Amino acid sequence: MDGSGSFREGRVQERARPVQEVVGCEGEALSTRTQVHINLRVNPSKTSDQSTTPITGGRRRSILPAQRVLIAPSILSADFARLAEDSMAALNAGGDLLHVDIMDGQFVPNLSMGPAICASLHRALPSVFLDVHLMVMDPAAYIEPFAKAGASHITFHIEVAPEPLALIERIHALGLTAGLAINPDTPAEALFPFLNEIEVALVMSVHPGFSGQKFIASVLTKTRALRDAGHPSMRVEMDGGVTPACAADCRAHGCDMMVAATAIFGRSDYAAAIAGLRA
């Protein structure tokens, strides 16, 4: 990790917000929300006509701005009947990227979605950063399918990875940034041997599986420990129960990336919800 930006391989400054037409899953324009401004994070390896991300060697260049707290709306709480439009509305309201929770019904007691949903979302919003969070028993089986589906970043759990370095290297080889996650009961020290190899350290602040749970404040000591031990360019991401009531504490304890599900999608005013998380 070179220390020059928010993710491995250097800092890329935040781009202006160009006008972007959102395309549907089969390539057609979405008639109700065309020609709108969106908070784009343009990936130079992607073009707007790609339905999937090519699998090539080399690291994916950082596409998120450094020195800024990032808000990641979690699509788990979005309206799946109009997923692209709802996701884009959250980005228009100030979200920086989309958080995509993948659950297999084994590592957590819930099922969410597979690569097909991710690929459809990528086709509809080809320039948006997709932060894929694997809450699965066998993360190795999911890495390449989600890379092909358009993921920008993949985080997996240390609790189910006997050889995490091999998985991190695999993610990087596919051109994505990589992260490691811990559950509320897992000590932060479990990630210490790998902090120089990852772009994101994610701390679960609820027991994973369902959105809308209450924030577990005791995990704040873990984010502070990871921030202090990690490289300055590593992102520390809080995921679970994040609301405006605890967002300031998250930032004060080293978090510079916050996932919010019902705190955004459960509100009628997405912009007010996101502004509250930044306040």
pLDDT tens column, 233-262: 999 999 999 999 999 999 999 999 999 999
Residue 7 domain-assigned (yes or no): no
Asked whether residue 120 is domain-assigned, the answer is: yes
In a domain, 44, yes or no: no
Over 80: is that where the pLDDT of 174 sits?
yes
User: What's the structural domain count of the chain?
Assistant: 1
Residues belonging to the active site: 101, 239
Domain that holds residue 157: 70-278
Inside any domain, residue 65? no
The DSSP string of 111-123 is: B---HHHHHHHHH
pLDDT digit string, tens, across residues 68-94: 899 999 999 999 999 999 999 999 999
Provide the residue type at 72 as one letter.
A
Average pLDDT over residues 6-35: 34
Dihedral angle sign, alpha carbons of residues 244, 245, 247, 251: positive
Structure-model confidence comparison of residues 42 and 259, the more confident one: 259
Burial of 5 (0-12, 13-18, 19+ CB in 10 A): buried
Report the CATH number that the domain containing residue 182 is assigned in CATH. Answer: 3.20.20.70
In a domain, 180, yes or no: yes
0.85 cut: is pTM over it? no
- Asked whether residue 253 is assigned to any structural domain, the reply reads yes
What is the per-residue pLDDT for 209? 64
